[in-house]
Structure 1
Amino acid sequence: MVKHGRNKKRRAGRIGRTKLKNKHSFRRWDPKPQIADAVVRQHWDPSKSPSVNLANLGLVARPNDDAKNIAPSQRIQPATNVNVVELFDIPDSDELREQKRQRRCPLKEEDQKYIVKCLAKYGDDYGKAFRDTKINYMQHTENQLRKMGARFLLLNKEQRVVDVPEKVKALVKTVEQ
């Protein structure tokens, strides 16, 4: 049977158009901003541009713009009657919670075991370790192995989980000194 140019029509977009199935959940963009903070809502004027509104709040719309290139007539003077404490809820007390900082190890335990096998067999010759698919089963590139090896050699005794191979112990001693 003849298709009467069906492929042309399909490529042109006349056939197979998709329509919105659920019209109730589709919302158009509302140009009026929905502001949750009462103080900001009070000072915000939707008829003015966002940069003017931010200037009225005492903020700068584009802080990285070079102020020298802006003409003096176009410069927006920040409002002086707005109190910053009104804009943001600042807690009464100055007590800050101490966050527990975990020691971040630059090399995971699995990666340490992986690079130790490479270093034990080939030392610091990462080209040979790269070509050995039995040791380098993750198929890291030569540069990736070099970075992992350098990170392993720079680890402290507390951070190191695996013993240093004999072939690279001299490198670890020179790094520690």
Structure 2
Amino acid sequence: MDAIALLKKYFVNQEAFEIVAKHSRMVADKALGIASALNAGIDLTFIEEAALVHDIGVSKIYAPKLNCYGKSPYICHGVLGREILEKEGFPVHAMVCERHIGVGLTVDDIIRQKMPLPVREMCPLSQEEKIICFADLYYSKNPESLSRENSHEEVRTALKKFGTHKVAIFDQWLAELGKP
């Protein structure tokens, strides 16, 4: 897979491409560091590829701050990314897209928050999915803070808005995956 070529194919706006490509590179580097430290036979090539394309669905959402002018709300970028990567012939990478939002979305989250998403579990299952999802929590796509890594406490604070159970998942991953 040529992840950068795929991103370029779907991001018609150069500024949007640059934001997502930079964010994704930082996520990939952090995920590779975590996976390497675990030394558990994790597929590093897959980690890098999937991390680089995990936000490809952002190309189809409406987010003017990111120079994206699609029709869908931001929360849909995971399922849109899954659709894109399945169409491109990368079904395993596609699942990373769908399952990387926050610490994962449950059926209860989707129903309770009335999200415009298919009602199904969208939580990371594989070790690779968890690592990428975990690494993604540390970086924003906000152009003003694109290069800044969030602290553990900042990640916890952001997740707390969605419930203490989301913070508990993060803390479990922090213990399991090591303190990056």
TM range (shorter): under 0.3
TM-score between the two structures when normalised by the length of structure 1 = 0.25
TM-score between the two structures when normalised by the length of structure 2 = 0.25
Structure with the larger helix share: 2
